[in-house]
Amino acid sequence: MTDPLVAATATDQIRTPAAPVGAAARHRPLDLRSVRLHPAGPLGAMQERNAAATIAHCIEHLGPALDHFRRVLGESDAENPGFVADTDVYKTIEAAAWEIARTGTTAWDAWLDETIGLIARVQEPSGYLVTWVQADPAKERFADLEGAHEMYALGHLIQAAVALDRAAGRGDLLAIARAFADLVDREFGPGRKDGICGHPEIETALVELYRHTGERRYLDLAARMIDLRGRGLLKTGHLGAEYFQDHAPVREARSAVGHAVRQLYLNAGAADVYLETGERALLEAMHAQWDSVHERKMYLTGAFGARHQGEAFGDDYELPSDRAYAETCATIADVHFNWRMLLAGDRSAAGYAEAIERELHNALAAAVDATGTRFFYASPLHLRPDRLSEGHAPRERQSWYSCACCPPNLARLTAQLGSYVATVADGELALHLYADAEIDVPDSLGGGTLRVDTAYPADGRVRLRLTGSEGLDLALRVPSWSPTALLDGTATAPDDDGYLRLRLTAETTLSFDLAPRWTRAHHRADALRGSAAIERGPVVYCVEQVDLPADVALDDVLVDAGAPLDEHDGSPHLTFPAAVRPSAPGLYGPPRNPDAPRPVTVTAVPFAQWGNRGGDAMRVWLPAV
């Protein structure tokens, strides 16, 4: 059944990764082409680097995955690269698609032609398309929903196909994705057998396919996947039901548990279903999930996953710095979750936007190096001097991984960054992220162009200029760390929802207080007790061994959480006085009066920059008096 309200707009979808059509969405996103990030700012620079280096790097490393597609056809004897290798291809296509939407580039057209042609040849007449299963005659379709990642692969295929159709009007991949989605609907749709994927992700993809095509059955299938979770359908084995978020129905699961990426993708999907159905019980469950994730289980850098075992969330306030798994894909999934909760508009958008800002400027900025070709899969907040690399948690960024989910995931998110800057809500343009940019104002708000001139977050001044219009109602987010703002030099407090409102007719300047500050953790966070960290605006800082004198070990540094933090013009670095504690004899012993600590001047750098000068010791949280 085609939803006529959606079908009427499906041929003119805005180019954005999430385009709600339901009445439950208070905020409406802008077209990706309407927000142009300038490369002079950090977000624009991330996009330029992504376009110039990261997407091409991903394409270069997809050889084994694409050869496995050829293996299914008998055209290669390549070894199976893993059960999620198909999704590396799809995420890279999606990254290219959003870059096409952003700039109109044709650089990857030939690669897209060849790759989509190969995918089409591998797809079975039924619509089935998972090389991990197809290459092995012993494997049965949909027999291992826990581990084969079949619907997870379909989810990323759908998202790539929708992106490519929206970006370039290219429907060949969309036809492939719909054939596979239709097969899953025939197998597991309403009135058919029960089944869910061990790795959530298909839910949000199906909702977007509904939005793009107007076919209601895709939304119904997504809702069914949400409804069936928590009924014990998965064979969880030694991993346990919580690992798969199959321990309780979604509407009753109030705490984030298990594999962090899976939980956050599931939350994004549930939020998407709410945006189209308006079901309050689902939204209330997502409020509880959001509180659990961000108030009790989020690292200061905007990372998630306290445990290597199961790549999982820990208990409330379980946030070890050195053993943090902090997977890049978990932070990306949380950006998706936050954005969909922001679009709902049921609570203040400020908290969701601030979480996205923290993630972009810290965990995600640190996940890729300055070349755009080396990546962290896991980003701890403390690297011990003698820690060995392990699995997907190496001491230094790597060019690729055996399970390469993070690099292409980072590429697709970076290509769509402009989508998260602003929305339209209640007759005003709401500015959620501050970045050097030009924004085309929708005709419904009077048209024209909003120019945002800023070096934020290096500088707290945001100059707003409106051209081509007589006026624009603006809602400007005031970050929680700057409870007041200066509007043209006058202190102005935000409304209760965290946004400052004004009628812009020509030009105004908004200024935030970016004084660096010491931060303490909640007293229940045992691993962080007695420590302090440094923040400046949304940016988290760290100290690296390379910046200390040769005779000073980072783990011996003791800080005064009231010490002045000195800024230096033209440099993102901060310096402050600290002390070096003398080493005590023995691992354990009775209390003793240690020798007097000696003074040392310490340099702190943005966490996003750590590890670019070698894999020496690093700390975000510093022992403090």
Radius of gyration of the chain (CA): 24
Residues 6 or more apart whose CB falls under 8 angstroms from that of 191 comprise: none
Structure tokens at 524: 């229940």
Question: 319 has which bridge partners?
Answer: none
Q: How far is CA 537 from the centre of its chain?
A: 19
Write the DSSP assignment of 189-246 as a string of letters: STTS-----SS--HHHHHHHHHHHH-BHHHHHHHHHHHHHTTSS-S--GGG-GGGGT-
Structure tokens at 54: 């990261």
Query: Nearest 5°: CA angle at 137, between 135 and 143?
Result: 95
Q: How many Å apart are CA 315 and CA 292, to the nearest integer?
A: 10
CB atoms within 10 A of CB 348: 17
Q: How many Å apart are CA 196 and CA 186, to the nearest integer?
A: 14
CB atoms within 10 A of CB 276: 22
Question: 544 has which bridge partners?
Answer: 618
* Buried b / exposed e along 301-329 (16+ C-beta atoms within 10 A): bbbbbbbbebbbbbeebbbbbebbbbbbb
* Residue (of 210, 222, 241) closest to 282 by Cα position: 222
Q: How many Å apart are CA 154 and CA 148, to the nearest integer?
A: 12
* Residue (of 148, 153, 162) closest to 119 by Cα position: 153
Query: Nearest 5°: CA angle at 163, between 107 and 165?
Result: 85
Q: How many Å apart are CA 313 and CA 267, to the nearest integer?
A: 14
Q: Look at the alpha carbons of 234, 238, 240, 243 in this order and tell me if their dihedral is positive or negative.
A: negative
Which residue in 311, 354, 428, 535 is the catalytic one? 311
What does the CA dihedral 429, 434, 437, 443 come to, rounded to 10 degrees?
A: 0
Q: Active-site residue 405, yes or no?
A: yes
Q: How many Å apart are CA 370 and CA 418, to the nearest integer?
A: 20
Question: 606 has which bridge partners?
Answer: 541
Which residue in 405, 428, 535, 544 is the catalytic one? 405
* Residue (of 449, 200, 231, 147) closest to 329 by Cα position: 200
Q: What is the DSSP letter of 375?
A: B
Order of all β-strands in the sheet with 461-467: 35-37, 437-440, 449-454, 461-467, 507-511, 485-487, 490-492
User: Cβ distance 417 to 410 under 8 Å?
Assistant: no
End-to-end distance of the chain based on CA atoms, in angstroms?
65
- For tokens 């995420």, what's the residue? 91
Query: Nearest 5°: CA angle at 321, between 317 and 322?
Result: 135
Instruction: Report in angstroms the alpha-carbon separations of 302 from 335, 355, 373.
Output: 10, 7, 22
Q: Is 606 helix (H, G, I), strand (E, B) or coil?
A: strand
Structure tokens at 427: 């007759």
Q: Where in the sequence numbering do the catalytic residues fall?
A: 311, 405
